[in-house]
Chains A and B, each alone.
Chain A
Amino acid sequence: MGSLFRSEEMTLCQLFLQSEAAYACVSELGELGLVQFRDLNPDVNVFQRKFVNEVRRCDEMERKLRYLEKEIKKDGIPMLDTGESPEAPQPREMIDLEATFEKLENELREVNQNAEALKRNFLELTELKHILRKTQVFFDETVPTVSYNTSSSTATFKSRWRYGRRQMADNQNEDEQAQLLGEEAGVRASQPGQNLKLGFVAGVILRERLAAFERMLWRACRGNVFLRQAMIESPLEDPSNGDQVYKSVFIIFFQGDQLKTRVKKICEGFRATLYPCPEAPADRREMAMGVMTRIEDLNTVLGQTQDHRHRVLVAAAKNLKIVRKIKAIYHTLNLFNLDVTQKCLIAECWVPVLDIETIQLALRRGTERSGSSVPPILNRMQTFENPPTYNRTNKFTKAFQALIDAYGVASYREMNPAPYTIITFPFLFAVMFGDLGHGTLMALFGLWMIRKEKGLAAQKTTNEIWNIFFGGRYIIFLMGVFSMYTGLIYNDIFSKSLNIFGSHWHVNYNKTTVLNNKHLQLNPSTVDYEGEPYPFGMDPIWQVATANKIIFQNSYKMKISIILGVIHMIFGVSLSLHNHTYFKNRNAVLYEFIPQLVFLVMMFFYLALLMFIKWNRYAATNSPPYSAGCAPSILITFIDMVLGNTPKTPLEGCESYMYAGQSLFQSLFRFIALCCIPVMLLGKPLKIIQARRQANRQNLTGATSDAEVGMTNGTAGGGAGHGGGGDNHEEEELSEICIHQGIHTIEFVLGSVSHTASYLRLWALSLAHAQLAEVLWNMVLSIGLRQEGWTGGIMLTIVFAFWAILTIGILVLMEGLSAFLHTLRLHWVEFQSKFYKGTGYAFQPFAFDQIIENGGTPAVEGAE
């Protein structure tokens, strides 16, 4: 048998490890990931275990590494995930590691501080640079105005002299401005010795504060200052939090010391930074040069600091995995027992039998690495405990196994439905989702995920919905492919049909017939029908015949739902035979499997058979007993069969039975099926009672040991009746068995009816899907197709977009999801209830890969 059909055979092993070699051995086993350790000191507090100290040190290291990681993420350095994971270091290297991390952390903090200072410096210099550049413009434009103003102000003076107060209504603002600047400059120009000097300050302020700042200045200085501002176009980085901020350069001209202090205070209040700005253009130029060179220098320094930081961080990123490994190893070592002599650690673990060799090899490697001379000992133990269930899956089968495990992990060595589900799941899905177009879309999506598998898997996202889709990529692909096939059979592509082989129905009407009748129904008994069906799938004419398409397809789809359902259930029951024979449960084969199978075949497979008989026997071309009008309803026939009714008298010339002797066969089948019920109900309990009586008799007479009888008794009957253990105990057990069996029987008999009906969901969903697709076509896309001319083109584009969105959103995604869930139910309830217990627990090996992926939380509670 293949690997996936049953879970792996497991065995409990005892492991004796030399204290020195234990660490290296566990490390090797962690790389291997095939061993599940059991907690041997469950009653010992977590804080009292042997290696608590080491775990704590690892925690401390992890904290430091987390800090480093945060810094790495902040810098946007890609953490090189090469896929390879370095081996866990020796325990003695832990001190070195600790020291390294300590150093790294300190270094990083220092680097960060330095970098911040440097950045602040850099910001100041850039601001100064901008000030110098912008103010240059101000000065440049003021110089000519100054000269202009000089002349104009002298002109005004002159005019004032001349015209007295005639021009009082002069523009106030212009006048003021002219006075503020011009007069002073004029005065300065005319009287250089005077100390009435126009002072100015220059600085940088956040842009959003500028308006308020300006207003404040105006009010506080009563309009006696002159402010010019210019925006700095490029955003500057705030060194304290790394935000990008926009700032503006301003320059304020004022007169006198009083105003100067006032202006400075306002600047302080608005957190504007002031910079010295020399007055003479030559000085400014010189300063600008100096600033530029300093910026250049700082840039190189900053670059070097960044590089250094980068190097430090990259070095740290590698170590993250190592520490997690060390921690996991110590957690595992904490599960071990100490030998009396304190020289040896004892572990108990579940191991797949097939892998014992590999594990031995790994242990030997570990011993060699640690330099210990005493080899570790791996002992197989006998146990009555239930071993864990371990299914070896690959990337393809994993998703299907997950579907099964979501219902319940298989009992140990039970038949695993997963390999059958690989095909039956997409198939039953496709019966409901049968549409070539939608199936293609789904298959292409699945194929894309499979093709880009590595790239998509590498970029780990936390987006849950995407992860679900990506995890099920093979399921999606197969569902899509099967939907394409069923879509071809249904001859349904976006609710239209493909006429590949040429329809086998023909229109043979003449002009007048066509024009005089609103509806015409083709007659299958005439030349309208070729006499043999369309070779592959549904005849395309049915998709066209909107008047009675649904009537025809309903009868077809209902029938296939029942046929597929009955076969699926019989398949499930047959799988239970494999379980019974494997567990050598002869009673279950005789009194469970056989009656169940007979019951299903006699009632429900016969129902499916009737459908084939009806398809085969009744035709429109036949003469009365088997003509179209005489065809009986299968549902009524089946109900009559179950209830034992005689069928109603048929129409003239028809017969009430489909074949000779049908009545006899049906009552025979009904009788056999009914006989199966008491066999299912009583067979097993009676057999157990018999076995126990025999055991008791042997007990009284024979010298066989109690224990042995108890053992055989236990394995045969499922209960544990130790010889002479008292009748009371046995009676109790027996009543339990009887009740259990009763429930099981009722469940099966009633279940087979309801489960068969449940498969009708295949028909219902398929009908709903086809109808939705048709409605979408008629209501949306056909509107666009009906328009003509160039407006029609535009209209069609818009309508098509709308139609495409609805197709993907509703028909593929939502309908797909609903069909998926119904398929899941059909598998979990209708199929698996026939053979699957699912009461096991999963094998959770100690594996580094998983621990690192889960973010370093080792599964300590694995054994529980």
Chain B
Amino acid sequence: MVSPWLAPIIITAIWGFIGIICPFFARGPNKGVTQCCLMLVASTCWLFWLCCYMTQMNPLIGPKLTRNEILIIAREWGNPIKDQIDITYY
């Protein structure tokens, strides 16, 4: 079982690298603009990911599925329904 912190750390590290480390390597006549762009890309994208992650961290409601959807999920995403039945979807 991987640590629950692994994914957030990896993603934060990637955006952190782009937003904090990369600007130091910017060169050329448009250095300022390049740096600004890199930092903004990293901060916006990271924030966007963070919001999505935090919404799902402690979900208050669960997805409501129809019978069809449950059966399809059971077949396609590999968590078969207990006491085997023949799955037919219609």
Contact = CB atoms under 8 A, between A and B. Distances in A.
Interface string A597-619: 00000000000000010011111
Interface string A380-409: 000000000000001001000000000000
28 contacts: A4-B30, A419-B37, A424-B40, A485-B48, A503-B73, A509-B82, A511-B81, A519-B65, A529-B62, A533-B56, A536-B49, A538-B56, A539-B56, A547-B63, A547-B65, A551-B61, A552-B61, A556-B52, A559-B51, A560-B51, A560-B52, A563-B51, A612-B54, A616-B57, A618-B60, A621-B58, A622-B58, A628-B61
Given A538-B52, A539-B56, A564-B47, A522 B62 contact: yes
Interface residues of B, number: 49
Contacts of B44: 423-424, 427
Nearest to A626: B58
A615 B32 contact: no
A2 B36 CA distance: 9
A545 B65 CA distance: 5
Interface of A: 1-5, 394, 397, 419-420, 422-424, 427, 431, 485-486, 489-490, 499, 502-503, 505-511, 514-515, 517-524, 528-529, 531-539, 541-542, 544-549, 551-552, 555-556, 559-560, 563-564, 567, 612, 615-622, 628, 631
Nearest to B45: A485
Contact of B57 (A419, A427, A533, A549): A533
A524 B66 contact: no
B74 interface: yes
B63 A542 contact: yes
A759 to B, nearest CB: 14
Given A541-B73, A542-B63, A620-B59, 17 more contacts: A420-B40, A511-B83, A533-B53, A533-B56, A536-B7, A538-B56, A545-B63, A547-B65, A547-B66, A548-B63, A551-B61, A567-B47, A616-B54, A616-B58, A619-B60, A620-B58, A620-B61
Nearest to B42: A423
A650 B31 CA distance: 55
Nearest to B59: A524
Given A511-B82, A536-B7, A556-B52, A548 B57 contact: no
A4 B32 contact: yes
A545 B69 contact: yes
Contacts of B77: 499, 502-503
Contact of A3 (B32, B41, B63): B32
Given A419-B36, A511-B83, A538-B52, A3 B62 contact: no
Contacts of A490: 52
A620 B37 contact: no
Given A535-B7, A537-B49, A556-B52, A521 B36 contact: no
B52 A537 contact: yes
A489 B49 contact: yes
Nearest to B29: A3
B54 A546 contact: no
Contacts of B73: 503, 507, 541, 544
A511 B65 contact: no
Contact of A523 (B58, B62, B70): B62
Contacts of A548: 61, 63-64
Given A3-B29, A489-B52, A544-B73, A620 B60 contact: yes
Nearest to A545: B63
A506 B79 contact: yes
A433 to B, nearest CB: 13
A3 B77 CA distance: 53
B27 interface: no
B81 A423 contact: no
B4 A423 contact: no
B33 interface: yes
A529 B35 CA distance: 41
B13 to A, nearest CB: 13
Nearest to B83: A511
Interface of B: 4, 7-8, 11, 29-33, 35-37, 40-41, 44-45, 47-49, 51-67, 69-74, 77, 79, 81-85
Contact of B65 (A508, A544, A617): A544
B11 A535 contact: yes
A531 B8 CA distance: 14
Given A511-B82, A537-B52, A520 B32 contact: no
B59 A517 contact: no
Contact of B62 (A485, A515, A528, A537): A528
A2 B39 CA distance: 14
Contact of A486 (B33, B48, B63, B66): B48
Q: Which 10 A-B residue pairings sit nearest by Cβ, starting from the closest?
A: A2-B32, A535-B7, A619-B58, A545-B63, A522-B62, A533-B56, A423-B40, A547-B64, A532-B4, A628-B60
Nearest to B53: A533
B40 A517 contact: no
A417 B5 CA distance: 37
B83 to A, nearest CB: 5
Contacts of A546: 66, 69
Contacts of B48: 427, 431, 485-486, 489, 560, 564
A563 B43 CA distance: 13
A502 B79 CA distance: 11
Nearest to B76: A499
Contacts of B79: 506-508
Contacts of A628: 60-61
Given A534-B56, A616-B58, A507 B81 contact: yes
A502 B40 CA distance: 30
Contacts of A502: 77
A557 to B, nearest CB: 9
A505 B70 CA distance: 11
Contact of B55 (A514, A544, A556): A556
B30 A522 contact: no
B29 A507 contact: no
Contacts of B62: 505, 521-524, 528-529, 620
A521 B59 contact: no
Contacts of B64: 519-522, 545, 547-548
Contacts of A509: 70, 81-82
A420 B63 contact: no
A813 to B, nearest CB: 25
Contact of A5 (B8, B32, B65, B72): B32
A415 B64 CA distance: 50
Contacts of A531: 4
Contacts of A397: 30, 33
B49 A521 contact: no
B70 A394 contact: no
Contacts of B72: 544
Contacts of B32: 1-5, 419
Contacts of A499: 77
A534 B61 CA distance: 15
Contacts of A485: 45, 48
A490 B59 CA distance: 16
